[in-house]
Structure formats: C-alpha cells, structure tokens
Structure 1
Amino acid sequence: MARLAGRSPRAAPRSVDVARVAGVSQKTVSRVMNGEPYVSEGVRRRVLDAAEELGYRLNHAARALASGRTRSIGVVTLGTALYGPATLLMGVERAVRDTGYALRVVNTMEGDASGIAGAVDSLLDQGVDGIVISEPIEEEGDADLSLRTDVPVLVLGAPPPFTAPRVVTAGIVADRLARAVTEHLLELGHTTVHHLAGPARWYAARDRLEGWRATLAEHGRREPPVITGDWSASSGYAAGRRLAADDTVTAVFAANDDMAIGLIRALLEAGRRVPEDVSVVGLDDIPVAAYMSPPLTTVRQPFDAMVQDGFKRLVHAIENPDADPIPAQDLPVELVVRASTAPPPHRTTPEHPRVSL
C-alpha cells in the first residue's frame, strides 16, 4: 500500500487522507468508518487497512457538534456482583466497544429513593443519545413509573412497568425460563414443584414466580407455599433446612443457581440425597454449576446474544429515529440437564409428556 506523501508526520490524519490511500471517495470512508451498509467487503478492507496504517480515528467530538449527538450511551445497572447483572454489564461493554459510542454507567443501589428515575435523569443531564436499563428492581415510588426522556431506552431482562417514547426490550421473558424448569420436573414424574423465589422487588424474580405458578396450574398440580430468598447461597441454605424437614418435598426450583447451591448443601447435611430424594434446578448456569456435586441442572441464559440483539436495535433507534424498529431476535430457552434431577423416589419412568414452549 502506498504511503501518504506531502503531509507532516506530526499532522493528524483526516478522512480525505484515508480516501487517497485507499483509492476511494471520502464518502466511502465515512460509510465504512460508521459501519453503514452497501460497501463491498473488499473496499471495506482497503479503507480499514488505510485507516490503520495512518492511525486515523473518527473525530467524535466534531460529529457531535454537527449532529447534535454526543455518541454516548448511558447504562443504569444495579451496583451488585450478582452473576446476571454483572454479566449483562460486561456484555454491554463489549457491544459498545466497536461502535464508536462512549459508555456512561450509573449504579443504582437497593434502598436508593431516587431509583431508576434518578439514574435516568443523571444520564440525560450528561447528554446521552440512548439509555440501557439492566435488570431493574422496584424502588419506592417506582409504581407506574413514567420516564420523561426523548432518547430511546433499551431494557435488558424483565421490564419494569414504565412508559417512555421509545422502548426496546431484549432477552427471554423470565416466565418462559421458569416454565422450562417446572415442565422438566413434572415430566420426570414429580407430583408438584416447590419454589425458592428471588426478592419480590426484582421484576425478574416476579416473572419466574409467575411462570412456575402458571405451569403448575395448567397441569392441575398443587401449589406449595413459596419460600423467598435474596439470591445468595446462604438464603438457599436457610430454605434448604426448612424444606429438608418435609418428607413430601421431592422437587425444588430455585430462582438462581447460587440459591440452588446453598439449598443442595442443606439437603445433603440433613440426609436428603440429591437427586435420589429431592431434585433441584437452578437458573443462569453460572460457571461453577457444572462442577458441583452433583452437577446442577439449570437454565442457561444467552446473555451475550441478548445484549448484542438489544444493542443493535437500540443503535438503530438512535440513528434512524423515523425508521421502523428492527424486530427482536427470538432467543431459545436452553435447559441444561445435569445430575441434580431425577424421577422421584419409587418411580422410574416419567408420567407426563413434554410440552413444547
């Protein structure tokens, strides 16, 4: 590739310089650098090679002045190390990295009176072009929340009951995840399934609870009393000690893997074998789930695919405000069956056929 002549080595390269080296128009350089379609792969490669050789980068500040956009996206996320929210945030960071947008993150904390609305207001004050809300929870005053924003909003996970001018949602509806778990246990022959729920303020926990409840009702099964945890293994352990004392319990669906792990520990300590006496299923497929004793049956959440799909549609809404929205990707429910589930005691064959979700 030819070297650019006639410019000082200290001068910052411009798009016209990239165009000259690549042998294309300046408009083509703009299309390539902004990820626009209708550019052949060969031309795209020449432009990117030229940009790399020259050390060219888009001047986003100039673009913001010209377009009225800051090329930044704000993220509202719960300040927590819990696997789901933390994994979603890492996925957002990866998705943003190659788009030319900057990322601005505001953490909300449980008990924060301003909650989601306060975090959104903070991001709007910074001039973001779009907002991502990751795994929201209900704070005081959030009922019938109406976000006053004129930028698109992407919600990852179970959406709260708010309204905004343009809302994009991404992910698998949590009740489908719960249905997959409950169906699996009923197919194995268990007469009912107990549920260890997440905190009621979490919209995801509510949807998992409703999915479990609806599936039992559809099959005409008794709904046992719900035990509520706080997503931690310690709360699962406490629930397991209670359930271990009830000999009628043969199957438990824990709303996340950490609680399922604590639950199994308590059952084993009480002399209840897993899965011979009690089957246990979690949700999320955290990395350690496959290496437990026994390995944990769970539902794997497609976090990366969820974020990529949602972010693509959010950027489309930002950059094409008058265009039709991109349809959401239909993400599959992936039940990962391991050794923590089996038919109930004294039963070796399933009694109930699988119901497609």
Structure 2
Amino acid sequence: MTNSRRHGSVSLREVAQYAGVSSQTVSRVANGSDLVRPETAERVRRAMRELGYRPNYAARALKHGRFNNIGVILFNTTQTGNMRILSGISATAARHGYAVTLLTLDGGNDGDDGHGSANLAPTAGEPAFTPARALARMRTLPIDGVIIALERRPADLTPFLPTERLPIVLITEGPLPGCITVDADQLDCSEQAVGLLLDEGHRTVYHIAGPESSCSSQEREQAWRAALERRGAAAPPVLRGDWSADSGYDAGLELARDPNCTAVYASNDQMAYGCMLAMRASGRRVPEDVSVIGVDDSLTAVVPRLDLDTMRLPFDAIGERAFTMVMRACEGEEPPTGVRNVLPVELVKRGSVAAGPSGRA
C-alpha cells in the first residue's frame, strides 16, 4: 500500500475502508482492545501508519471521559533514582495505553537520588517554581491524573489532596493525611543497614546524610537515629553531603581522623563510594578498619569491580506502583489515603562490611 493522502486529518472511517474492516474494529485497535485478532490488528495499525492517522484525543476524552494521559512532576531528571522511577512510570503507562506528560522543576543537585519535558525553572528575578505551582500548570493540561515525586515536604499539603476530577499520587514515604503515597521503605532501609553493622560488632554507626531539604534524607536520618537508640548505641554527630561523591569524600576525610569511627552508613551510594575512597586515601582500610554501606545501588553500571555494600531501592517498582494507583483512581477506584504504602528494600553485599572491634554479635 502507498500513502496517497498528503493533507488534512484522516478519519477513523477512512482507516476502516483502507484496511477492509469495520469502523468498530479500528476503534478497538486505537483504544488498545484485546478483542481484535492479532493479524487484523496489525493490518489496521499498518493502515494507520500509511495514512498518517492520528487519534482525536479531544473526541476520545468527550466520549470516554478520559485523555489516557498522566502528568508527572519531578524535581529533575539528572538523578538516577528519578530517571528509573520515570522509566517505571513510562513503561507501565505504555502497557496500559496511556501517555505521559512530564514537567520538571530543575532542582539541580539538590534532588534525591534516593528519585517530552517542559522545564519549569524560573527566569532571573522570578520566585522559585514549587510543586504546587507545577500542579497548577498540570491542571490546565489534558491529563487524567498526576504523579508527583515529592522530594521536599511542602508547608501546605492542601494542593496535593486528590479530587474526583484529578487524582494525585505522591512519591514520598508518608503517611500524609488525605494523600495517596507510595515509596521505598526508608525506615526499614536504615534499620537493616544499622542492624547489619551493629550485628558485625561495631559499637555505633556514623552517618553521612543528604541535603536537609530532602524528604528521603530526613527519613533515613531519623530512622538511623531510632535504630541506634533501640539497640542502645549512641548516635555520633551527623555529617551532611549533597548526594555527590565529592561530598562523601570530604566527609570521609573527616571521619578518617576519628579513631572511634569503624562503621559508616551513607544516605546514597555516591557519598558512600566517595567516603570509601577518602578512607583508603587516608590509610584506613575498607572493610578491615572501617565498614561502609550506602543506599540505592546506582553505581553498578558506572564503577567497575564495585565492592560497596548497599541497600537497593526498588525505583522501577515505585514508578510502576505509582502509575497503577493513579490509573485505578482515574478509572473510578478509590485507593486508600493517609496510609503508609511502601515497597521493600534489599540488602546487597559486595564486601565493604566486616566485623568490628567487638566481633560479630
């Protein structure tokens, strides 16, 4: 077949005539129905491509009450966690016949590595673009629901409450009153990391935290402190980084001068790896003298022969779960609000943790 149509929109009826099928069959294929035989569906899709058919989403929305489009708001797309969460959202959306509209806040290096694009960074002199303002922009677009990676806890949660007209899912640990949330289990992440080090005989665990503005950093730090308290171990002063390996290296240089430091839990793998390099550069062996563990498992494709223990976060699964929850809300279900909806983390051992001064407990 050749495409003889050059100008103007192509109707569903014209595709049906071109493919030799009914208009109802073309409609089913366009809407991703499984009721059409595979060979017929492929013939229809080929006709669509050759005629240049484009679905009329406005008409579809009027008929079905939905655009089959989900909005996603991220602080940035430069962090590994955010990219993998977005990948999980996009892949799941595609499987269900949905599109994704992405707005980024351009949060720079202050985003959590823990998580078509329109950059919403303000120009000089404008106030910072907040998630609430981004959500207001989303409300003007042809979308059915919104997923927001809420990396910083806002003072007012009211704009993020889901409504019948616009379901909203927040990627943050929660629970938050009235909100639908999903995230990795940050509390168990710190509990496992601290427990591993204390069980190996370390008297306490030093912590390299992420930025104070990050929700994930706050949650991991609070859970680290609580885990030490439950085990009767004193919490040393916190060192704070910015998620980068350089900040972890600087923290590692400081910790290397402390003879009491035999175990370090860093809030992400980049800082943990920087800390390891600093320890070794300072003459302290890892893991013989100092054990180090990180969070996220983001360096496996970057660092050869990686020997860093880590708590693996299920970024792709978070994206998949967030999309599934917002899709179900769009289709009339009522996901529970104000509850803690978290996915399990996984300890990955590669050799950077060993027995401490007291030996294995």
Q: CA deviation at 1:78?
A: 0.8
The whole-number CA distance in structure 2 between the counterparts of 1:177 and 1:100 is 34
Does the aligned pair in 2 maintain the 1:135–1:158 contact within 8 Å?
no
Distance 1:317 1:76, change over 3 A: same
1:187–1:20 distance in 2 versus 1, CA, 3 Å: farther
Provide structure 2 residue ranges, at least 5 long, that are not aligned to the other structure.
111-126
TM-score (norm 1): 0.80
2:267 matched residue in structure 1: 255
Corresponding position of 1:154: 169
Q: In structure 1, what is the equivalent of residue 114 of structure 2?
A: none
Aligned residue among 134, 140, 152 for 1:125: 140
Could you tell me which residue of structure 1 aligns to residue 45 of structure 2? 52
Q: Give me the CA root mean square deviation.
A: 3.3
> Would the alpha carbon gap of residues 161 and 199 (structure 1) be closer, same or farther in structure 2, given more than 3 Å must change?
farther
Question: Could you list the runs of 5+ residues in structure 1 that have no partner in the other structure?
Answer: 352-357
- Inter-CA distance 211–44: structure 2 relative to 1 (3 Å threshold): farther
**1:216/1:44 CA distance change after superposition, 3 Å:** farther
Quote the residue 2:292 is aligned against: 280
- How far apart are residue 168 of structure 1 and its match? 3.1
Corresponding residue for residue 108 of structure 1: 105
Whole-Å separation in 1 of the counterparts to 2:28 and 2:194: 49
Indicate if the aligned counterparts of 1:198 and 1:230 stay in contact, CA closer than 8 A: yes
8 Å contact from structure 1 (residues 133, 153) kept in 2: yes
In structure 1, C-alpha distance between the alignment counterparts of 2:27 and 2:155, rounded to whole Å: 45
Contact 2:253 2:282 in 1 (8 A): yes
CA distance in 2, matches of 1:135, 1:271: 40
CA contact (8 A) 2:203 2:358 kept: no
Q: Partner letter of residue 180 of structure 1?
A: Q
Report the counterpart of residue 88 of structure 1 in structure 2: 85
**Secondary structure of 1:280's match?**
strand
Structure 1 contact 159–203 (Cα < 8 Å) conserved: no
What is the CA–CA distance in structure 2 between the aligned matches of 1:183 and 1:32, rounded to whole Å? 53
Residue 171 of structure 1 aligns to a residue whose secondary structure is strand
**Stretch of structure 1 that moved more, 48-57 or 207-216:** 48-57
Aligned to 2:73: 76
Q: CA deviation at 1:331?
A: 3.5
Aligned with 2:184: secondary structure? coil
SS in 1 for 2:192: helix
Partner of 1:325: 335
CA–CA distance in structure 1, aligned partners of residues 157 and 91 of structure 2: 29
Which residue number corresponds to residue 215 of structure 1? 227
- Retained in 2: the 8 A contact 1:168–1:310? no
Matched, 1:241 2:247: no
Q: 2:355 aligns with which of 343, 347, 352?
A: 343
Q: Deviations over 1:66-87 (max 9, x none)?
A: 3444333221111251221232
Q: Bigger shift: 142-151 or 215-224?
A: 142-151
Contact 1:283 1:299 (8 Å CA) reproduced: yes
Which whole-Å deviations, capped at 9, do the CAs of 1:163-217 have from their partners, x for residues lacking one? Answer: 5xxx432332211211121122122221211111111111111111122122112
Distance 1:179 1:51, change over 3 A: farther
Q: Residue deviations 1:74-120, cap 9 Å, x none?
A: 21111251221232223333333344433222222449644111110
Pairwise CA distance, 1:304: 1.5
Aligned mates of 2:11, 2:44 — CA distance in 1? 9
Matched AA of 1:278: V
Secondary structure of the residue aligned to 2:307 is: coil
Give 3-state SS (helix, strand or coil) of 2:308's partner: coil
CA contact (8 A) 1:143 1:161 kept: no
Equivalent in the alignment of 1:134: 149
Query: Cα deviations across residues 7-42 of structure 1 (Å, max 9, x unaligned)?
Result: x9649463796699798993x765665456xx57xx
Cα deviations by residue, 1:299-345 (Å, 9 ceiling, x for unpaired): 11222222112212211111x22x34399987332110011111114
Where relative contact order (Cα < 8 A, 6+ residues apart) is larger, the structure is 2
Output the CA distance in 2 between the equivalents of 1:105 and 1:128.
11
Contact 1:252 1:278 in 2 (8 A): yes
Supply the AA of the counterpart residue of 2:133. Answer: G
Contact (CA 8 Å) 1:32, 1:47: kept in 2 or not?
no
Paired residues of 2:269 and 2:296 also in contact (CA < 8 A) = yes
* 3-state SS of paired residue (1:341): coil
Give the SS at the match of 1:105. Answer: strand
- SS of the residue 2:147 aligns to: strand
Alpha-carbon offset, residue 295 of structure 1 = 1.0
Look up the match of 1:182: 194
Residues 53, 107 of structure 1: alpha-carbon distance in 2 compared, 3 angstrom cutoff: closer
Retained in 2: the 8 A contact 1:300–1:336? yes
Distance 1:58 1:224, change over 3 A: same
